[in-house]
Amino acid sequence: MGSGQKRNKLLVPEASQAMYQFKYELAREVGVENQIQGDYWGHVSSRDCGAVGGGMVRQMIQTVEQQIAQQGSPSQTIAATNQTTGTIQ
């Protein structure tokens, strides 16, 4: 996708750089890093892009589940997260 065509907006814009690094970390793990040219993913198959995105979602869910296990109920975790990020639910 070329510059200026980004459709997905982060809920926490400050996380942009971390998410970018996270995506490229998983691309290395999946083995498609050599197919990426700068920010251009056009030579990466849909299956491989899905593996990168799916891996990101899996790891984010795992992180939240661990936080819930450590902090108690999901509503407490969400409240703590909202307090940290300044969002209101």
Higher-scoring residue by pLDDT: 69, 4: 69
pLDDT at 87 over 90: no
pLDDT at position 44 is 94
- Rounded Cα–Cα distance for residues 33 and 21 (Å): 12
Give 30-79 pLDDT, tens digit per residue.
999 999 988 899 999 999 999 999 999 999 999 989 988 888 766 665 66
Two tokens at 32? 């498609």
Read off the pTM. Answer: 0.69
Question: Letter for the amino acid at 77?
Answer: T
